[in-house]
């Protein structure tokens, strides 16, 4: 049960980060800066949305 809650919250966090530019998900992390430079900001936001959907789906799937 705890894993499903953690995955759901992580998915929600990624979803919020895709639409609101939270510092750690964009410019606060050197790895993220490299990914944005390599992929582009639009594709990075699409990646965040996909990860959000996957984690929320896993959270619902693993609930008791």
First-residue to last-residue Cα distance in the chain: 6
Backbone angles phi, psi at 26, to 5 degrees: -125, -80
Mind listing the pLDDT tens digit for each residue in 14-23? Answer: 999 999 987 7
Q: Cα 12 from chain centroid?
A: 8
Per-residue pLDDT band at 59 (split at 50, 70, 90)? very high
User: What is the rounded average pLDDT of the residues 19-45?
Assistant: 86
6: pLDDT strictly greater than 90: yes
In whole angstroms, what is the distance from residue 9 CA to residue 28 CA?
A: 21
Report the number of distinct structural domains present in the chain: 1
- Where in the sequence is the domain holding 22, given as residue range(s)? 2-61
Q: How far apart are CA 35 and CA 14, in angstroms?
A: 15
| Three-state DSSP class for residue 8 | helix
pLDDT score recorded for residue 14: 93
């Amino acid at each position: 049960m705890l894993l499903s809650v953690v995955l759901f919250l992580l998915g929600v966090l990624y979803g919020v980060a895709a639409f609101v530019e939270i510092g750690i998900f964009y410019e606060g992390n050197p790895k993220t800066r490299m990914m944005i430079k390599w992929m582009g900001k639009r594709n990075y936001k699409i990646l965040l949305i996909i990860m959000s959907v996957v984690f929320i789906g896993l959270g619902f799937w693993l609930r008791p």
